[in-house]
Amino acid sequence: MLKTNEICLHYGSSQILYNISIEAMIGEITCLMGSNGVGKTSLLKVLSGNHPSSSGNYILNEKDVTNFEAHELASRGVGYVPQGRFIFPLLTVEENLMSGFAVLKKDERYIPKLIFDLFPVLKKMLSRKGGDLSGGQQQQLAIARALIMQPKLLLLDEPTEGIQPNIITLIGEVIDYLKSQKNMAIILVEQYFDFAFARADNIFAITRGEIVYEGRKAIIDKKKLRKAVSI
């Protein structure tokens, strides 16, 4: 589904990512792990078209999409839930959800029932302003908005950050449900080790912009992984 070959990224003259090569498959959860400031968000910005890479390439569905713009990637099925959520605070919950319609065909522009089955609280809050929601509710809204675009690749940047335990459990169940549907590839960036490890199929550990350890969850050495992600 997704493959990157030796992606590098610079902000001005400072290099942040070094030769990042990853793969993510449909029906699987691919985890990117690593401590603060190692470049996880920067990598998702490349994968969502929110920042260009300086070299390397990005293949999506066997097509080279290197440095395509965010809207082009969205229309090719890339759903992005950025770190810090970035919902529209002055728009209502419903309007926030409808902002995902842009990439859909006219007859697909409705909020599917599934969204409210996964996130019942959003149904009750449709006419509330996004900015009035709690952090956990905003995170649910951000994930729901990405799902409305019917993504084939879902990028989740630290969905549990600053979220209370019962909502973390709910978000975990939603991610597990999405995986069970086997119709999208999920890339999960997480610092919450147990949350990520529990549901990962494939794991990449990043330190200072480089992949330092990787492997299928079934065979990866958990101790080595813990060490790699704590640097």
Ligand X SMILES: Nc1ncnc2c1ncn2[C@@H]1O[C@H](COP(=O)(O)OP(=O)(O)O)[C@@H](O)[C@H]1O
Contact between 38 and ligand X per CB under 6 A: yes
Nearer to ligand X, 29 or 46 (CB): 46
Q: Which one of ligand X, Mg ion, none interacts with residue 19, CB within 5 to 8 A by kind?
A: none
Query: Which span sits near ligand X by CB under 6 A: 34-42, 56-64, 104-112, 123-131?
Result: 34-42
For residue 111, the minimal CB distance to Mg ion (Å) is 29
CA distance linking residue 231 with residue 23, whole number of Å: 23
For the chain, the first-to-last Cα distance in angstroms comes to 30
User: Do 61 and 1 meet the contact criterion of CB atoms below 8 Å apart?
Assistant: yes
Nearer to ligand X, 33 or 103 (CB): 33
Residues numbered 182-211 forming contacts with ligand X, rule: CB under 6 A: none
Q: Which one of ligand X, Mg ion, none interacts with residue 89, CB within 5 to 8 A by kind?
A: none
Residues numbered 41-60 forming contacts with ligand X, rule: CB under 6 A: 41-42
Contact between 13 and ligand X per CB under 6 A: no
**165-180 and 135-148 helices cross at what angle (nearest 10)?**
10
Helix (H) or strand (E) holding 169: helix 165-180
Query: Which span sits near ligand X by CB under 6 A: 38-46, 67-75, 159-167, 196-204?
Result: 38-46
Minimal CB distance to Mg ion: which residue? 41
* Residue 105: both structure tokens together: 């065909």
Q: Mark residues 63-102: x for contact with Mg ion by CB under 5 A, - for none.
A: --------------------x-------------------
Helices (H), strands (E): how many in the chain?
Answer: 9, 11
Contact between 24 and ligand X per CB under 6 A: no
CA distance linking residue 198 with residue 217, whole number of Å: 9
Contact between 11 and ligand X per CB under 6 A: yes
Concatenated DSSP letters of 76-90: TTEEEE-TT----TT
Per DSSP bridges, beta strands 55-60 and 63-64 are: antiparallel
CA distance linking residue 102 with residue 53, whole number of Å: 25
Beta bridge partners of 156: 81, 188
* Binding footprint of ligand X on the chain (CB under 6 A): 11, 16, 34, 36-42
* Binding footprint of Mg ion on the chain (CB under 5 A): 40-41, 83
